[in-house]
Amino acid sequence: MVMGSLPEAVDIAVIGGGVGGYFAAIHAAQLGKSVALIEKEKLGGHCLNYACIPSKTMIKVADMFYEIQHAQNFGIHAGNVSINGSELYNWRMNASKKLEDGVAFLCKSNGVEVVKGTAVFMSSTSLQIGGGSSIDFKKAIIATGSEPTVLKGFEFGGNIIDYKKALMLDHIPKSMAIIGAGYVSVEIGTLYAKFGTKVSIVARSDVLSKFDRDAVELVKKKMAELGVKIYTGATPASHDASSVTLSSGEKIDAELIVVAVGLSPFTDGLEIGSTEAKLDDRGFIKVDNALRTTDPNILAIGDVIGEPMLAHKAMRQGIVAAEVAAGQNASYDNLVVPAVIFSDPEIAIAGTLEGEGIKVTKFPLTALGRAIALNATNGFVKIAADVDNIVKGVEIVSDDAGDIIAEAVVAIEMGATLEDIADSIHPHPTYSEALQEAAEAALGRSIHYFYGK
């Protein structure tokens, strides 16, 4: 089925209306091209409807719920605080709907033709939509994203759910076992634990195994405080309606079992074989640094082309792909893709902390005025610079880390030095000062922390 008017031919057809796709479509229209944006489900894709926005909305609500109950030190005695799952569900769904409507409005305002339906390639110059009409294009941009990876023996259905369903519950479950231990598991596990759910995480090795252990240990400490039980080096063997049993024989209570073992590129039903575009051996679409596939008419962006599978990467690639498809000389050559884990405390990373000649300096939040005043000293900033003091990487473990890391991204992209950060006036009292303090410490002139003589 196709909804919306279907043009017969366009300059650029964008397949998938997620963050990558709608950025590409709007920017291509800004460049004067006729554009169709084809989306089979909801504009905004996973990020706005099922992933980034819903998870961060629910994390914020869970933080408020938890903080109100633990605010006696500040003189707040809230009494009996309760959470209504169905009202939270309504808030979370409305937030996504507002954003989805906003994307529709922006597409319309910029002259992008939004077509509702599933796009299938018929050739390198045409698509069939919803099994009916076809549309010819000069260039196509594939932005079909990803889907939750299926775990053998724990296929989705019944009480086994994916991240989308876990972020769409209309009640707070009594118990939840999460299989998988990446950032999605940590975020979902922490938020439900704050609502009072008994959360268990089943980790093949450990939680956040690819991240800096200094940072992860602080997150694990908080998760332990919240009652989250992490089963490390564990393999789930079987399940029933209320539990998961590990290969060790241990049985875990689980009203719900969330399988979060990764994201797989989504190209199902797209008939890529009708074009010259090719997939790699993991199913990602192969592209060059200008995001061109092996088909001269077709580009691809976002989760469907590989790691890092992050919304802001897809957005940037959407802009670049639109420019390339419009005939401009552009390429995807950003130095840094920041990563943020919205854990407690947040972990945010930009660039690298490792490499020859790189020196890392750590500034603890126990020495930061704002953190001390708000009882939020569980964190630090690490800054890495080369022998010429050029900043190469920053890691922030702190409240608002996800916001502050943007400064580090700009610094690294611009080749800023430690002095650039240390000598720029940062607003006081804020967490951003911790980044400035780290730069000062790296230059041997720390004011608020005594590193010894």
Ligand X SMILES: Cc1cc2nc3c(=O)[nH]c(=O)nc-3n(C[C@H](O)[C@H](O)[C@H](O)COP(=O)(O)OP(=O)(O)OC[C@H]3O[C@@H](n4cnc5c(N)ncnc54)[C@H](O)[C@@H]3O)c2cc1C
- Site for ligand X, rule CB under 6 A: 15-21, 38-41, 45-47, 51-52, 55-56, 118-119, 143-146, 163, 184, 266, 269-270, 302-303, 309-312, 314
Round to whole Å and give the CA distance between 208 and 300.
29
Checking phi first, is residue 281 left (phi over 0); if not, alpha (psi -120 to 50) or beta? alpha
The partner residues of 135 in beta bridges, in order of sequence, read 127
Q: Is residue 112 within 8 Å of 85, Cβ to Cβ?
A: no
User: Is the bond into 345 cis (omega within 30 degrees of 0)?
Assistant: yes
In angstroms, give the least distance from the CB of 20 to ligand X.
Answer: 3
In angstroms, give the least distance from the CB of 67 to ligand X.
Answer: 21
User: Is the bond into 429 cis (omega within 30 degrees of 0)?
Assistant: yes
Number of Cβ within a 10 Å radius of residue 242: 15
Report the residue number, 2 or 390, with the smaller CB distance to ligand X.
Answer: 2
In angstroms, give the least distance from the CB of 332 to ligand X.
Answer: 13
Which secondary-structure segment (H or E) carries 231?
A: strand 229-231
In angstroms, give the least distance from the CB of 46 to ligand X.
Answer: 4
In angstroms, give the least distance from the CB of 142 to ligand X.
Answer: 8
Report the residue number, 177 or 314, with the smaller CB distance to ligand X.
Answer: 314
Report the residue number, 52 or 277, with the smaller CB distance to ligand X.
Answer: 52
Round to whole Å and give the CA distance between 271 and 238.
36
- CA 384-314-13 angle, 5° bins: 155
Report the residue number, 39 or 323, with the smaller CB distance to ligand X.
Answer: 39
- CA 183-184-188 angle, 5° bins: 115
HSE-up of residue 449 (Cα within 13 Å, Cβ side): 23
Q: One of 312, 426, 428, 448 is an active-site residue; which one?
A: 428
Q: Is 46 a catalytic residue?
A: no
Report the residue number, 311 or 367, with the smaller CB distance to ligand X.
Answer: 311
In angstroms, give the least distance from the CB of 22 to ligand X.
Answer: 8
Which secondary-structure segment (H or E) carries 372?
A: helix 369-373
> Cα torsion for 108, 320, 267, 132, to the nearest 10°?
40
Q: Is residue 234 within 8 Å of 204, Cβ to Cβ?
A: yes
Report the residue number, 258 or 384, with the smaller CB distance to ligand X.
Answer: 258
Angle between helices 183-195 and 52-69 (to 10 degrees): 40
Catalytic residues, by residue number, are 428
